[in-house]
C-alpha cells in the first residue's frame, strides 16, 4: 500500500520566519510528487516534481525531490499570515494520488 508521511504535523511561526516541511513516501510505480495548499476550502495545486535534485520555485515557495532517499521538502521563506494553511503532499503512483495527512502551518503576526 502506498504510504506518504508528512512532518511536522503542525507548526506555528512568526511572520518573516522560514518554514521547512518534509514529506517521505513509499509507493510502487512512482511517477511524480505533488504539493498542494489547502486553506479553508479545497486544495490548490502548488508544484509537481518528477526529477531528483531539481528545485521548483514559485515566489517565496520552493520544493525539491530526492528520489534516492524518497522524500521531498517544501520551503517557505519570509512567511506571511496568508501562508497559514495545511500543505498536502501527494504521490502519483499507479495513476492515483496518495496523500499525506498534511503539515498545518500557522503564521502569526
Q: Does 106 bind other proteins (CB under 8 A)?
A: no
Distances (CA, A) of 78 to 37, 44, 53: 17, 21, 23
DSSP three-state, residue 82: helix
Find residue 37's DSSP bridge partners.
Answer: 44, 87
The residue (of 15 and 39) whose beta carbon lies closer to other proteins is 39
The region of 19-27, 43-51, 60-68, 77-85 touching other proteins under the rule CB under 8 A is: 43-51
Of 18 and 44, nearer to other proteins (C-beta) is 44
Helix (H, G, I), strand (E, B) or coil at 81: helix
Contacting residues toward other proteins, per CB under 8 A: 32, 34, 41-45, 48, 88, 90, 92, 94-102
Amino acid at each position: 500500500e502506498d504510504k506518504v508521511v508528512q512532518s511536522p504535523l503542525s507548526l506555528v511561526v512568526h511572520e518573516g520566519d522560514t518554514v521547512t516541511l518534509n514529506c517521505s513516501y513509499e509507493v510502487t510505480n512512482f511517477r511524480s510528487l505533488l504539493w498542494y495548499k489547502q486553506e479553508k476550502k479545497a486544495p490548490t495545486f502548488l508544484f509537481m516534481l518528477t526529477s531528483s535534485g531539481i528545485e521548483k520555485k514559485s515566489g517565496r515557495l520552493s520544493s525539491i525531490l530526492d528520489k534516492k532517499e524518497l522524500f521531498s521538502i517544501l520551503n517557505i521563506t519570509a512567511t506571511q499570515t496568508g501562508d497559514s494553511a495545511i500543505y498536502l503532499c501527494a504521490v502519483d503512483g499507479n495513476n492515483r494520488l496518495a496523500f499525506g495527512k498534511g503539515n498545518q502551518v500557522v503564521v502569526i503576526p
